[in-house]
């Protein structure tokens, strides 16, 4: 996935912000279809966002959900000076939309209908720490349904190792490629229902970067009929 991200930006000129927009739109669509039976109107959604790309996708999803009628609150697990430049842009747009944004400091989850977990993504090594870890424990204890962006926070993407703590999701929207660790038996219990989301990776990219799988991807494009595909 790192190579996909690199090639998207360096070889094809597709920006990180563009990828975040696709991820966020898909998050909103999965939330609407899977958790809210086709309408998010007046539903309360808490978006827990980390400082990097995974968090930026969640912030994009927060805006898309706001735009289609949800009542959205955002909790940041890192200070503003630690946000990536693209995530900071997403946050600026949310502020302009009037969406409530707070720090992960004893967040009250009472009354929320859904939590979107976009705290940490495929770059995680080891266990979540600090405010992120505290928020994970609070989310799990609340028993509110969780939709994870790309991978439940706390699971290592390649090995499937489960950190302490780790999000227990009801559904996960992984993007571009399913991460190997998601299929590990112990990890699957935290992943929930798994969906694959289209972030507009050119099919030819796979052939250039991964010749051993490229032809298979091009000839069996999973997104021919929908931008979101259920894997299990």
CA separation for the pair 14, 53 (Å, rounded): 14
φ/ψ of residue 113, rounded to 5:
-90, -25
This prediction has a pTM of 0.94
What pLDDT score was predicted for residue 122? 85
| Domains defined for the chain, CATH in brackets | 2-230 (3.40.50.10260)
CA separation for the pair 126, 162 (Å, rounded): 9
pLDDT at 213 over 70: no
3-state secondary structure 191-215: HCEEEEECCCCCHHHHHHHCHHHHH
| pLDDT one-digit tens code per residue, 141-176 | 999 999 999 999 999 999 999 999 999 999 999 998
Give the helix ranges, DSSP H, for 52-202: 53-67, 85-96, 130-142, 185-191
What pLDDT score was predicted for residue 58? 98
| pLDDT one-digit tens code per residue, 70-103 | 999 999 999 999 999 999 999 999 999 999 999 8
């Amino acid at each position: 996935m790192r190579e996909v991200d690199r090639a998207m930006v360096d070889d094809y000129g597709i920006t990180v912000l563009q990828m975040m927009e696709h991820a966020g739109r898909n998050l909103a669509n999965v939330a609407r279809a899977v958790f809210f039976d086709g309408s998010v109107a007046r539903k309360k959604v808490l978006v827990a966002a980390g400082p990097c790309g995974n968090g930026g996708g969640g912030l994009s999803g927060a805006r898309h959900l706001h735009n289609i009628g949800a009542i959205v609150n955002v909790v940041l697990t890192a200070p503003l000076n630690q946000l990536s430049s693209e995530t900071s842009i997403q946050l600026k747009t949310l502020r302009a939309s009037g969406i409530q944004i707070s720090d992960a400091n004893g967040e009250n989850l009472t009354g929320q209908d859904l939590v979107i977990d976009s705290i940490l993504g495929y770059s995680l090594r080891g266990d979540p720490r600090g405010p992120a870890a505290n928020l994970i424990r609070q989310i799990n204890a609340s028993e509110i349904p969780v939709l994870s962006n790309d991978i439940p926070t706390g699971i290592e993407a390649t090995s499937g190792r489960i950190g302490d703590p780790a999000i227990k999701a009801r559904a996960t929207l992984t993007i571009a490629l399913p991460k190997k660790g998601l299929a590990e038996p112990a990890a699957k219990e935290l992943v929930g229902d798994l969906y694959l989301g289209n972030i507009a990776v050119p099919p030819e990219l796979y052939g250039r970067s991964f010749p051993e799988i490229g032809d298979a991807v091009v000839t069996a494009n999973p997104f021919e009929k929908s931008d979101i595909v259920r894997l299990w």
